């Protein structure tokens, strides 16, 4: 199936919201400028903002680090429309996994093919987790981040034996590289 058809079919499941979640007059990054110039991407961004607000209401402020991971994954796309659309669709589905009711049912099963971008963001966030000194900081950032990565790996069919509470750094690295090489 052509990427344009997938994008059109996905947009049909979204509410009609023409404005992105941010002020386009202040957009400076390539992905933000592209979102402002593309009606479909703007709709995705609005839907993502609604799903993020719902997930944050359920999960609390600990979701901020996860938000950054999703934004970094989108930013890694530059101005490439299909990549941005995929990252936004993934973010909506991910917030749905975290409890956002507005994530369209058809997007909850979306298979994200940009796992390397998420893994790079996870690596960057790992330093913050190692520097955390109070239990609340570890729980708010690291546990949620690790749980989300575990879910992503499961969706990709990688590392099937991981538990949600597993200390991931020593467990997923060997199995993911083994699974990806095969």
Give the pLDDT confidence of 92-118 residue by residue, as tens digits. 877 877 778 776 655 544 444 555 555
On whether the CB atoms of residues 79 and 53 are closer than 8 A, the answer is no
Q: List the single range of 49-63, 64-78, 94-108, 124-138 with lowest mean pLDDT.
A: 124-138
pLDDT value of residue 30? 95
On whether the CB atoms of residues 56 and 98 are closer than 8 A, the answer is no
pLDDT value of residue 170? 47
Q: List the single range of 47-56, 67-76, 91-100 with lowest mean pLDDT.
A: 91-100
pTM score of the predicted model? 0.55
pLDDT value at 78 more than 60: yes
Angle at 158 (CA atoms; ends 155, 163), nearest 5 degrees? 85
CB count within 10 Å of CB 34 equals 21
- Nearest Cα residue to 35 out of 71, 81, 89: 81
What residues contact residue 37 under an 8 Å CB cut-off, 6+ apart?
none
123-178 confidence digits (pLDDT tens): 555 555 555 555 555 555 565 566 666 666 666 666 666 665 545 544 444 454 44
Mean pLDDT to the nearest integer, 57-78: 81
Pair of tokens at residue 73 = 């994954």
Indicate the DSSP class of residue 102: T
**Residue written as token pair 């991931």:** 168
């Amino acid at each position: 199936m052509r990427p344009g058809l997938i994008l059109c079919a996905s947009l049909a499941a979204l509410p009609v919201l023409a404005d992105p979640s941010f002020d386009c007059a202040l957009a400076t990054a390539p992905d933000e400028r592209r979102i402002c110039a593309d009606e479909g991407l703007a709709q995705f961004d609005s839907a993502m903002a609604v799903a993020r607000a719902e997930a944050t209401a359920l999960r609390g402020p600990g979701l901020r680090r996860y938000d950054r991971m999703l934004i970094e994954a989108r930013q890694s796309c530059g101005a490439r429309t299909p990549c941005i659309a995929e990252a936004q669709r993934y973010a909506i589905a991910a917030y749905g996994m975290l409890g956002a009711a507005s994530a369209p049912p058809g997007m909850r099963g979306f298979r994200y093919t940009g796992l390397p971008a998420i893994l790079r963001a996870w690596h960057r966030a790992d330093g913050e987790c190692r520097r955390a000194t109070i239990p609340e900081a570890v729980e708010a950032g690291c546990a949620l981040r690790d749980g989300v990565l575990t879910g992503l790996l499961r969706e990709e069919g990688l590392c099937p034996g991981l538990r949600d509470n597993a200390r991931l750094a020593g467990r997923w690295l060997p199995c993911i590289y083994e699974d990806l090489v095969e």
